[in-house]
Amino acid sequence: MVTTADAEPQRSVDHPTIHLLARFEDMLHTRREAWARRHGRIPLIIPFSGYGSTEWTRVLCRVMLQKPEPVPSDPPTRSDRKRAKRRERLRGWRSFVSVPLNGATVSITIDGMTTEVRADRGGVVDTVIPISLEAGWHMATLETPGGVAVEAPTQIIDPAVEFGIVSDVDDTVMVTALPRPFVAAWNTFVLDEHARIPTPGMAVLMERLVAANPGCPVIYLSTGAWNVAPTLTRFLSRNIYPAGALLLTDWGPTHDRWFRSGQEHKRDNLRRLSEEFPNIKWLLIGDDGQHDEDIYRRFAAERPGHVAAVAIRQLSTGEAVLAGGRSKPEKDIAPDVPWVYAPDGSGIVDQLDELGIV
């Protein structure tokens, strides 16, 4: 069975409603795509973890034009091992120089059903496929013409599950000292990914939560760009964080504004999760250095029946300075939702244990 859908309506660069900067970006991508194809670049799908219910699944990936990987020798030679080591020690800027494939067609096959979708302007596919699947982890096979098939994991949530985790990434599971521009640029474009620091105790906290709530979904909701998704995925795996979907955004202009709103991205996805899983109460994990408290406070006030608790990691004095200070939330707007504060995962887990959540 084959169906067709669009990840996002495709717009011509000459469409009058498209923002001038977005039109310039589209023109730049078109020229870079032509250059990449002339130099032998081929389509490469970068799969991301998805999630869904027993009636549908949300599939996420990005299509890029990249240099084909050389076929390793059998057994691997010294050159093969060196290339593999270089690929493992990536610096963030490399994620931003690959060429996104605008409007690429992607075939998604799950449990014998194939659906064709088209990527958006940034090469991102974010689509919902109606399909009946059993609860648990499944693999979707993704393929684009001229490319290599890859697999993307998707977690199907049992209808009986009533608890889930939504966690911020920057300064929550990973110490990044955002949003100070210089530090943010250093962490994103220069710092070796193996030098990124996990937040103390947070991986243990989340593993305990997952162990106490079998089958619960874990969603990593960040304002970071899709460009860094592979780096974040490796970081989470390397530091033994539980597997879960990454919900990121795309840098750059949209059809009607200069830049995407990170706060709006978080608010929209929280509302979407509450609508997709009306029986789940979410533990919202963030930090006090950006806008997490305000976003979570407003969501808890709007939909208090969907929030189990809010856990805020307190930044150190140095981290707070780099992050531009601490936020001052008005927690009394959602008085029925418990809030816990601690500088690390160990402190948070102790307080959640007192609430009976862990």
Number of folded domains in the chain? Answer: 2
Rounded Cα distance, 329 and 286, in Å: 13
Decide: 43 and 99 in contact? Cβ < 8 Å. Answer: no
Per-residue pLDDT at 318: 63
pLDDT score, position 42: 75
Domain's final residue, options 134, 156, 178: 156
Residue at a domain's end among 136, 156, 176? 156
Q: What is the pLDDT of residue 101?
A: 85
* pLDDT for res 220: 98
Q: H or E element: which one contains 174?
A: strand 174-175
Omega of the bond prior to 16 within 30 degrees of 0, cis? Answer: no
Any idea what the Cα angle at residue 61 is, between residues 29 and 256, rounded to 5°? 50
As beta bridge partners, residue 48 has 60
Cβ atoms of 63 and 49 closer than 8 Å: no
Q: Which of 135, 156, 177 is the last residue of a domain?
A: 156
CATH number at residue 207: 3.40.50.1000
Query: At residue 10, what is the residue type?
Result: Q
Residues 112 and 192 grouped into a single domain: no
Do 279 and 190 sit in the same domain of this protein? yes
pLDDT digits (tens, 9 = 90+) for 159-176: 999 999 999 998 899 887
User: Residue 120: its pLDDT value, please?
Assistant: 87
Domain ranges, residue 187? 163-355
Same-domain check for residues 15 and 117: yes
pLDDT of residue 260: 56
Low-confidence ranges of the chain (pLDDT < 50): 1-4, 6-17, 88-91, 180, 253-259, 325
What pLDDT does residue 191 have?
A: 62
Are both 336 and 223 inside the same structural domain?
Answer: yes
**Is there a single domain that holds both residue 78 and residue 195?**
no
333 and 349, same domain (yes or no): yes
Q: Which residues pair with 246 in a beta bridge?
A: 220
pLDDT at 155: 97
Question: Which pLDDT does position 102 carry in this prediction?
Answer: 83
* pLDDT value at residue 175: 83
Helices of type H across the chain: 20-38, 78-88, 181-185, 202-212, 229-238, 262-276, 292-302, 317-322, 345-355
Do 25 and 70 reside in the same domain of the chain? yes
- Residue 16 has a pLDDT of 44
Same-domain pairing of 43 and 146: yes
| Same-domain pairing of 110 and 144 | yes
- In this structure, the answer to whether residues 197 and 54 fall within a common structural domain is no
Query: Given the DSSP bridges, would you call strands 105-110 and 136-143 parallel, antiparallel or unpaired?
Result: antiparallel
Radius of gyration of the chain (CA): 21
How far is the C-alpha of 98 from the C-alpha of 304, rounded, in Å?
42
Q: Tell me: do 146 and 176 sit in the same domain.
A: no
What SS3 state is found at 3? strand
What's residue 329's pLDDT?
A: 53
CATH number of the domain enclosing 141: 2.60.40
Predicted local confidence at residue 344, as pLDDT: 94
For residues 151 and 280, state if they share a domain.
no
